[in-house]
Structure formats: structure tokens, C-alpha cells
Structure 1
């Protein structure tokens, strides 16, 4: 049987993995915290610092393009998308949230490369701050787990 027992996450060993991180700079305080938590968790899972590529882009709408460019390099096992979109008073929130999410999914499906999507979409900044560390860590674990699963299935 492939994978872990039902309901249990498999052991995560990222020592052989290469991971790319694309971080939006908009709402930089939150995205910096997401990045720090993600990086700390990747390191705790064994991913070597020299095997982590980190790019920053202006905002969440630019994240999918940078992810796609990283997939074209062909030397990564998984990617992480980091960003923070906080609802405002206009329709712009929905546009950015929907399009960035769809773009990340499209890149993952088109490339076959696992992408952990940690672009936060929150009602207010307090919600974003409350989630920044946990979601950064979660993204690292998802990236490693999915890269290992893809390797196992190959």
C-alpha cells in the first residue's frame, strides 16, 4: 500500500529535496513571517539551505508567473507560494484571491510539480497575523510531503 496509514501523515524527510519559495512582498510583515516560519520548518524537515531557492515578487498576482519560471528550470522537487490578501472595500480582493489561486493551481497541474499554496486570504490584518506562522509551517510540510509522494509514485 502506498502512502501512510489512513489519517496519519507519513514521516517527512526532506534531506534530498530541492524547494522553491515565491513570496509576495505586498503585506510584507505577514509574508516575511510566513517565509520565516516556512524556512524554519523546511530546515527542521532536513531540507538543506543551499537547496532552497527564494524569490520575491510585488504581489499575489505575480506569484504564479514566478512559480512557472521556477518549474521551467527543472531542478526543483516542490514549490511554495506565499502571500497575503486582506479584504478591502472593493471587488479587488476577490479578483486577486481568485486569480492568484487559479494561477497557482494551473502551474501545479501544468508542470506536475507539487505547490503548497500559502497565499492567505483574510477578512482583516488581525486574521492574517494570527495565521502567519502556522500557515508558513504548514506550507513547508505540504511541500515536502507532496514531493515525497510524487517521488514514491514515480
Structure 2
């Protein structure tokens, strides 16, 4: 490709974008913090509050099915997955982390729709709290940047 790089100018401009957020309620205080910082960053980037749809589901395994429903709606420029999976004493952590991640990726690829995956997978609650604000902001920035990039592609 010759000339200017596509997707660099205005990549974090959220004006005119419609963003869907699916947040797991499991580890609610942490995922609430993820959502607060994510939504605040979307607004800072120029996304209008009425163009942000925030839905909640019981846990991380339920996130992909709601993402799929939103993707099939066709009315979104990008989606965001918010959750928190904290390692326990059993294999359940790996199952939930792997399957929720695979589901998010599958929806994104099947629908050619950017999905910022901010489902935290951590060893303990302290790690989750240490990451919640930053990852919430990062998710907003990724969603806006990728929505703009895909819009610019031929």
C-alpha cells in the first residue's frame, strides 16, 4: 500500500459511532468499574451517550451470545465485552476464560465487527482492581479505533 496509512488520522474520533457494551455481573463491583471508565472514555472520545447501549448478563460465558445478537442487529460500529474471571481452585477458571474468549473472537470474525475484549482473567481480586480502570479505558479506545479502521477499509 502506498501513500498515507489508513486508519491513523482521526482514529480515536468517536463522533457518529454506535457502541454496544455487554458486561458480566459476576464480580459486579469490578465489572462496574470497568464499565464506568469505559463509558467515560467513550464520551471523552466523542461518542454520544444515547449511542452507547450497555447490557448486562450473569457471567462471562453469557457475553458472546448477547454480542452475537447485537452483531446480528447490524446497528453497531463496534462492541465491547466487559467481565472479570478470577482464578479459583478448580479447572472452571480455564473453561470460562477460554470459552468466553473464543466466543467473543468468533462473533467478531463471523460478523466482521470489532469487539474490544476486556474480560479480565486474573489470579486474584487485587489484580482485577489494579487493572479495572485502565482496561475499561483501553476497551473504549480499541472499539473506537477499530470501528474507524474498518470503516476506512475498501
**1:23 corresponds to which residue?**
23
- Any stretches of 5+ residues in structure 1 without a counterpart? none
TM-score normalised according to structure 1 size: 0.95
**1:47 corresponds to which residue?**
47
TM-score normalised according to structure 2 size: 0.95
After superposition, residues 89-104 of structure 1 pair within 5 angstroms as: 89-104=89-104
Q: CA deviation at 1:12?
A: 1.1
Q: CA RMSD in A?
A: 1.3
**3-state DSSP of counterpart to 1:97:** helix
State the alpha-carbon separation in 2 of the partners of residues 15 and 111 from structure 1: 22
State the alpha-carbon separation in 2 of the partners of residues 114 and 11 from structure 1: 14
State the alpha-carbon separation in 2 of the partners of residues 4 and 43 from structure 1: 20
Q: CA deviation at 1:11?
A: 4.3
**Count of equivalent residues:** 151
Deviations along 1:98-153, whole A, 9 cap, x unmatched? 00000000000001000000000000000000000000000000000000000111
Give runs of ≥4 in structure 1 deviating > 6 Å. Answer: none
Q: CA deviation at 1:2?
A: 2.7
**3-state DSSP of counterpart to 2:85:** strand
**1:3 corresponds to which residue?**
6
